[in-house]
Amino acid sequence: MRKISVILSFILISVLSLAACTGAGEDNENKNLKEEKILVSTTINPVDEIVNIIGKDKVETNRMVPKGSDAHDFEPTIKDMETLKNSKILFINGLEMESWVEKAVEVSGNKKLEIIDLSKGVDLINLSEYDNGEDDDHSEEEDDDDHGHEHGKYDPHIWLSLNSLEVMSENVYKELSSISPEDENFFKENLETFKKDILEVKDEYYKKFEPHKGKAFITGHAAFGYLTREMGLVQKSIEGPFQEGEPTPKKLRDLIEYVKENNITTIFLEQKASPRVSETLAREVNGKTVEINSLEDEGDILDNLKIIYDKILESFN
Distances (CA, A) of 103 to 106, 109, 110, 147: 5, 10, 12, 18
In the structure, what pLDDT confidence band is assigned to residue 36 with cuts at 50, 70 and 90?
A: confident
DSSP code for 298: S
Please report which helix (H) or strand (E) contains residue 34, including its range. Answer: helix 2-36
In the structure, what pLDDT confidence band is assigned to residue 72 with cuts at 50, 70 and 90?
A: confident
96 three-state secondary structure = coil
Nearest to 134 by CA among 122, 125, 126, 142: 142
Same fold, 36-120+159-202 and 213-316: yes
Question: Is 55's pLDDT higher than 90?
Answer: yes
Mean pLDDT (the chain) is 85
Nearest to 276 by CA among 300, 235, 246, 249: 246
Q: What percent of the chain has pLDDT over 90?
A: 65
Nearest to 177 by CA among 116, 256, 259: 116
Question: Is 17's pLDDT higher than 70?
Answer: no
Distances (CA, A) of 266 to 80, 166, 217, 281: 40, 31, 8, 10
Question: Is 71's pLDDT higher than 80?
Answer: yes
Report the predicted TM-score, pTM, of the whole model to 2 decimal places. 0.82
Give the fold, CATH level 3, of 213-316. Rossmann fold (3.40.50)
What residue segments make up the domains of the chain, in order of their start? 36-120+159-202, 213-316
- In the CATH scheme, what is the code of domain 36-120+159-202? 3.40.50.1980
Distances (CA, A) of 241 to 9, 27, 166, 180, 293: 73, 49, 23, 37, 13
